Amino acid sequence: MTYKSTRGGAKGVCFSEAVLKGIAPDGGLFVPEHDVRFDSLELAEMCGMDYKTLAAHIFKRYAGDFTDAEIEYCVDRAYGSGSRFDAEDPAPVRKLSRNLSIMELWHGPTAAFKDMALQALPAFMSVALKKRRRPEAVSAGTDAQGAEDGNQSRSYDTKIAILTATSGDTGKAAMEGFKDAPGIDIMVFFPENGVSEMQRRQMQTQEGGNIRVVAVRGNFDDAQTGVKRIFGDDSFRDAMLREGWQLSSANSINFGRLLPQIVYYFHAYFSLVRSESITLGTPVNFVVPTGNFGDILAAYYAYKNGLPVGRLICAANSNSVVADFINTGFYNANREFKVTISPAMDILISSNLERLIYDVSGEDEKNTSKLMMDLRVNGSYNVDRPVLSGIRSLFWADKASEDETKATISDFWNQYRYLVDPHTAVGLNVYDKYVISTGDLTPTVAVSTASPFKFNRSVAEAVFSSAKGAAGASAADVPDTDNISEFTLLSLLSETTGCAIPAPLQGLNKKPLLHTGVCDKDKMEDEVLAFLRREDQSAK
């Protein structure tokens, strides 16, 4: 399998290079050049596989230049014996009612779904890097672990420096993934006053010899703009390359992040077959809380690979650019950015939509380039009728307001004693609207993207406020969540609901702070240099 750009500027790129580059040289996104298709016989065979074997089976079809041994190494590190997930099944599916099941994607090291991909991407990169360094030595049976040999000649010695600006979840998941990855350093910038207390602690206590975290004096946009400026600065990039560093990013447009996400849609489907909720071949709907359109795009790829999918239900919060697009064909980012209780979905530019439009328009690279140019220049674009109806034949979309999201958290707690985080609640609220509007009772899997304990303030508010309304509860029984710290709330929520706090979120307030550096937004380059050269720097 080789890859090409959605804008026509690159073709025949192998998986390794697509993963190391992240974005195509023409600014487009890498997509597979050929269809991957599993027929019903093969699906029946895949249905019996455990997660790791299933992942390897699917990866083999996409990672064309990886040997079986290399793929084995990647899946083992991400989901096998070396795995950081808290159970053997990294994506357990729980049946809530006759037609509705929930797939929990938050059993990894940072308690959010980004771990599903970011536990695999670093392994892909290490293998790819090793191939690039010693192309002649790569064959089945070589040590695929990408370990440094120490005596390699300098000319092969390009390392990868991952730079990421984060509003909270991605940076932490990337660091956990890249921690101690051979030949890769990672630097994360977060807005000094723009993350939750839990998220700040998660980042500042991060361990690993190849990692640096620095707070930026400014908001998320300042941090993001700073990182983009560094990527766009040719002379800085060249200077880094001379010192042996290729800059790269771990954000969700990298195909190496999409590929691991395809696997769990198959896994959810097969879980329903194995539990006899459906028979093989029955269509299933998926509901996906959507931000950058990565997660739901992976569901679309699974559908194209032959998974029996009914509808893909795209759920947005009040920043509903994508949902509005699916309903009208008009993508319009010229609107107010709203800060919500589902912050990982607060986004106005959904980059991965480019891949869907390219595919549905029959791989029309000219049209895709034009639309993306419109987006850059005008902040908006319009697709043709046939493209829109192509999208709407599979996708259905709507949004959930803040109040609806909170009400959904309490409803699911009251009705099922099942605790959901605000992102998952957005999905469940939109699913409700879907059923009311269409009457479609096809078996459905709702994707749960974060542990409720990662967003415990809004979850506690929703759960405790519904307790307030309950008969027999006196106001004195109900805590005043406003005046309680996030760490106290965490234990309170766990005691009240009887749900266990995920291990990675426990004891965070007692861990030593390893990264207390703060820099000005125009000094980020200096921080990068100081870190990569391991010079004395303000960040320590």
Ligand X SMILES: *Cc1c(COP(=O)(O)O)cnc(C)c1O
What is the pairing mode between strands 184-191 and 30-32?
unpaired
Instruction: Indicate which single residue of 92, 260, 291, 502 sits in contact with ligand X (rule: CB under 6 A).
Output: 291
Supply the DSSP string of 354-385, one letter for each residue: HHHHHHHTTS-HHHHHHHHHHHHHHSEEE--H
Of 138 and 345, the one with the shorter C-beta distance to ligand X is 345
The torsion of the CA quartet 20, 22, 24, 27, rounded to 10 degrees, works out to -150
Residue 170 beta carbon to ligand X: minimum distance, rounded to whole angstroms: 7
C-alpha closest to that of 168 among 142, 192, 152: 192
398 pairs with which residues across the strands? 315
**Residue in 249, 307, 297, 273 with CA at minimum distance from that of residue 58:** 307
455 or 531: whose CB is closer to ligand X? Answer: 455
Q: How near is the Cβ of 256 to ligand X at its closest, in Å?
A: 14
Q: How far is the CB of 493 from ligand X (least distance, A)?
A: 17
Cα 8 from chain centroid (whole Å): 26
Q: Which pair of structure tokens corresponds to residue 81?
A: 């014996």
Nearer to ligand X (CB atom), residue 104 or residue 295: 295
**Look-up: residue for tokens 């539990």?**
275
The pair phi, psi for residue 314, each rounded to 5°, is -95, 120
Q: Let me know how long the chain is.
A: 540
- Cβ proximity to ligand X: between 10 and 117 the closer is 117
CB of 258 to ligand X, least distance (A): 9
Answer yes or no whether residue 67 interacts with ligand X by CB under 6 A: no
Options 194, 289, 452, 504; binder of ligand X; rule CB under 6 A: 289
Which one of 104, 115, 295, 486 is in contact with ligand X (CB under 6 A)? 295
Cβ atoms of 62 and 75 closer than 8 Å: no
Order of strands across the sheet with 444-448? 93-95, 100-104, 444-448, 284-289, 309-316, 395-399
> At 382, which amino acid appears?
N
Q: Report, in angstroms and rounded to the nearest whole number, the Rg of the chain calculated over CA atoms.
A: 23
Least CB distance to ligand X at residue 294 (A): 3
* DSSP class of 139: S
Nearer to ligand X, 264 or 293 (CB): 293
Could you give the CA distance from residue 298 to residue 260 in angstroms, rounded to a whole number?
A: 8
At position 540, the amino acid (one-letter code) is K
Question: Which of 32, 109, 194, 294 forms a contact with ligand X (CB under 6 A)?
Answer: 294
**Of residues 231-260, which lie at the interface with ligand X (CB under 6 A)?**
252
Closest separation between CB of residue 70 and ligand X, Å? Answer: 26
Instruction: Please state, in angstroms and rounded to a whole number, the distance separating the CA atoms of residues 80 and 30.
Output: 28
CB of 458 to ligand X, least distance (A): 12
Best CA proximity match to 426, nearest among 455, 402, 400, 464: 400
**Which span sits near ligand X by CB under 6 A: 52-60, 74-82, 269-277, 292-300?**
292-300
- Interface of this chain with ligand X, residues 374 to 403, rule: CB under 6 A: none
By C-alpha distance, which of 75, 251, 81, 100 is closest to 162?
Answer: 251
Residue 457, class by beta-carbon neighbours within 10 Å (0-12 exposed, 13-18 middle, 19+ buried)?
Answer: buried
In angstroms, give the least distance from the CB of 140 to ligand X.
33
Stretch that binds ligand X, among 212-220, 243-251, 284-292, 327-335 (CB under 6 A): 284-292
89: Cβ contacts below 8 Å, ≥ 6 apart: 50, 51
Closest Cα partner for 345 from 268, 301, 405?
405
Q: Which stretch binds ligand X (CB under 6 A): 289-297, 390-398, 409-417, 480-488?
A: 289-297
Q: How far is the CB of 296 from ligand X (least distance, A)?
A: 6
In the bound state with ligand X, the residue whose beta carbon lies nearer, of 210 and 449, is 449
Footprint (CB under 6 A) of ligand X, residues 88-127: 112-114
Q: Based on CB atoms, which residue is closest to ligand X, 450 or 528? A: 450
Q: Using CB under 6 A, which of 169, 192, 364, 527 touches ligand X? A: 169
Q: Which amino acid is at 217?
A: R
Asked whether the CA dihedral 87, 282, 317, 228 is positive or negative, the reply is: positive
Q: How far is the CB of 202 from ligand X (least distance, A)?
A: 13
171 binding ligand X? (CB under 6 A): no
Residue with smaller CB distance to ligand X, 290 or 305: 290
- What is the residue type of 154? R
Q: Which of residues 409-428 bind ligand X (CB under 6 A)?
A: 423
Nearest distance from C-beta of residue 185 to ligand X, angstroms: 24
Least Å from the CB of residue 34 to ligand X: 24
CB of 365 to ligand X, least distance (A): 24
**Contact map string, positions 438 to 467, toward ligand X, x by CB under 6 A:** -----------xx-----------------
- 150 φ/ψ sector (left φ>0, alpha ψ -120 to 50, else beta): left
* Helix, strand, coil percentages, rounded to 5, for the chain: 50, 15, 35
Counting residues that bind ligand X (by CB under 6 A) gives 17
From the list 292, 368, 444, 494, which residue makes contact with ligand X (rule: CB under 6 A)? 292
When asked if residue 290 is in the footprint of ligand X (CB under 6 A), the reply is yes
Return residues touching ligand X (CB under 6 A): 112-114, 169, 252, 289-295, 344-345, 423, 449-450
